[in-house]
């Protein structure tokens, strides 16, 4: 909030967002519209650079502390000194959490929880990495956007972090 000063538009040109959008656009942004006046990335982790988060189809706003929201996906204390897990966490909290949920926190677009991702990362690490970069190469119908900028060390960090959330123990293949 302090760094990017996002704008929550409740009315545009005096009209509720939904009315304004229905008159001016074809797609549905939801009840609320969040944007930025301008955006400059404020950090990067490995090959991942911060991207503006302009959520679509926002119908509900919930306010919680950063401790609650990010605490839900924080690395386990036993991993607190593993740099790969820490890097993976910082990327996941900025990026994956918008669409993937942990319990009642995080986005619901993906319908695949943190544990599902963790189990995927633990059981099929190389497929997981390919999915991150190019989801359609694994599942042609996947609705997840590609991340071609994710290089090998970055993919490894994300994968190592998610593996710590695996719910079942499986043999990697």
Binding site for ligand HEC (CB under 6 A): 91-92, 95-96, 98-100, 109-110, 112, 116-117, 120, 128, 131-132, 139, 142-145, 158
Give whichever of 12 and 72 is closer to ligand HEC, judged by the CB atom.
72
Q: How far apart are CA 147 and CA 168, in angstroms?
A: 27
Give whichever of 116 and 164 is closer to ligand HEC, judged by the CB atom.
116
Name the DSSP class of 146. P
Q: How far apart are CA 157 and CA 45, in angstroms?
A: 10
Give whichever of 24 and 170 is closer to ligand HEC, judged by the CB atom.
170
For the chain, the first-to-last Cα distance in angstroms comes to 42
Give whichever of 14 and 83 is closer to ligand HEC, judged by the CB atom.
83
> Any idea what the Cα angle at residue 144 is, between residues 149 and 18, rounded to 5°?
115
**β-bridge pairing 33-36 and 44-45:** unpaired
Taking the complex as a whole, how short is the minimal distance between the CB of residue 160 and ligand HEC, in angstroms? 11
Length of the chain: 173
Give the helix ranges, DSSP H, for the chain: 17-24, 66-71, 83-94, 114-123, 125-133, 135-138, 152-163
Count of alpha carbons within 13 Å of 103, Cβ hemisphere only? 8
Give whichever of 12 and 138 is closer to ligand HEC, judged by the CB atom.
138
């Amino acid at each position: 909030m302090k760094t990017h000063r996002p704008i929550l538009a409740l009315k545009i040109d005096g009209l509720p967002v939904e009315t304004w959008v229905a008159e001016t656009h074809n797609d549905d942004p939801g009840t609320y519209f969040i944007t930025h006046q301008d955006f400059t990335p404020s950090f990067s982790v490995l090959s991942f650079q911060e991207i503006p988060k302009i959520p679509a189809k926002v119908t509900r706003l919930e306010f919680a502390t950063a401790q609650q929201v990010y605490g839900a996906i924080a690395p386990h204390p036993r991993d607190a000194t593993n740099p790969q897990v820490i890097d993976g966490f910082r990327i996941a909290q900025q990026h994956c959490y918008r669409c993937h949920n942990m319990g009642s926190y995080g986005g619901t677009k993906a319908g695949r929880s943190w544990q599902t991702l963790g189990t995927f990362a633990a059981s099929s690490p190389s497929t997981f990495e390919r999915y991150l970069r190019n989801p359609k190469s694994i599942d042609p119908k996947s609705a997840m956007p590609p991340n071609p900028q994710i290089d090998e060390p970055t993919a490894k960090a994300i994968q190592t972090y998610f593996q710590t959330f695996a719910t079942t123990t499986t043999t990697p293949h």
